[in-house]
Structure 1
Amino acid sequence: MSAEELRKANAHFYDEVFRRRNVDAIDDLLSDDFVEHIPGPGQQTDRQGTKEFIKNVLDAFPDMDLEIEHDVVEGDTIASVVRFTGTHEGEFAGVPATGRRVTVYVTDFGRMRDGRWTDHWGLVDVGGLMAQLGAGPGGTR
């Protein structure tokens, strides 16, 4: 797979799952042996766990949008810096809906084999997100 094909597959995942809110597409986009290497709180590390986690995120931030700000490809792996924005309208990580608009950066690393994602490592600015929700240092409720 070329670097350009990997970039297109990466953009397709974000578009289909997050922008179109088609969480069921995960069944086709992630391999049967998919592994989430840095799971969210309570998240299982397999494909189903990822599907449930993303559904919870979209329920909590139903107007979520994103922008891939930068990416780097090496071999079968892509690293992306993604800016997510959305309004906190549902419980997330134990924080009840605040109605606050947030922006959070995520650094994602994904590996692909035979056209499907096999591995993911996601680093989220959790401190920045919690502060924006008024639930962490620098935030007020």
Structure 2
Amino acid sequence: MSSVNEETMRRFVDDVLNGRNLASLDELVDPDYVYRAPGEELRGREGLAALLDGYRSAFPDLEIAIDELVSGGDATVLSFTLTGTHRGDLLGHAPTGHRVRVHGMVRSRFRDGRIVDEWELIDQLSLLQQLGLMKMED
């Protein structure tokens, strides 16, 4: 089952995240999908589509590179690098034009070959620093 889950995750990254094909959500994501990140929880394919649209608005050239993908049982863990240029509103911040490179990880659990829930952590401090929205004190 692990190799099936890894293949589903790779297709999700290639087709949905990088390929911008939200129609693939029906095939790859369970109707009971739940997304969690610090301070955030979204439910269903519609919630995921809205989240992805928000990222695309802020970073139209957003790309996700798979750094490592491991699986076991009904889950995968993906380490990734996100790159993009800040060209749209992000959490109330106007576009900066800055190019970012941010690392993150997501644990995905699968049911019947589809992603049913995810926990994601992104290096938000690095993102805010690269956008010039947060400075580190000496």
The answer, yes or no, to whether TM exceeds 0.5 is yes
Match of 2:8 in 1: 9
* More deviation, 73-82/27-36: 27-36
State the one-letter code of the partner of 2:115: W
In 1: Cα distance, 2:84 partner to 2:13 partner: 15
Match of 1:37 in 2: 36
In 2: Cα distance, 1:40 partner to 1:61 partner: 21
1:51-66 paired onto structure 2 within 5 Å: 51-66=49-64
Match of 1:111 in 2: 109
Match of 1:18 in 2: 17
Offset from partner CA, 1:27-51 (integer Å, 9 cap, x none): 332111111132665x633331111
Unaligned 5+ segments in structure 2 are none
Per the normalisation by structure 1, the TM-score is: 0.88
| CA 24–40 in structure 1, closer or farther in 2 if over 3 Å, else same | farther
Match of 1:91 in 2: 89
Q: Does the CA-based 8 Å contact 1:108-1:121 persist in structure 2?
A: yes
In 2: Cα distance, 1:54 partner to 1:125 partner: 17
Q: Give the 3-state SS of the residue equivalent to 2:115 in structure 1.
A: strand
Q: Give the 3-state SS of the residue equivalent to 1:123 in structure 2.
A: strand
Q: Does the CA-based 8 Å contact 2:108-2:115 persist in structure 1?
A: yes
Q: Does the CA-based 8 Å contact 1:40-1:53 persist in structure 2?
A: no
Higher strand residue share: 2
| CA 100–40 in structure 1, closer or farther in 2 if over 3 Å, else same | farther
Offset from partner CA, 1:88-109 (integer Å, 9 cap, x none): 1111122111111001111101
**Cα RMSD (Å):** 1.9
Q: Does the CA-based 8 Å contact 1:109-1:122 persist in structure 2?
A: yes
Q: Does 1 or 2 have the higher relative contact order (CA < 8 Å, sep 6+)?
A: 2
Per the normalisation by structure 2, the TM-score is: 0.90
| CA 40–48 in structure 1, closer or farther in 2 if over 3 Å, else same | farther
Unaligned 5+ segments in structure 1 are none
State the one-letter code of the partner of 1:36: Y
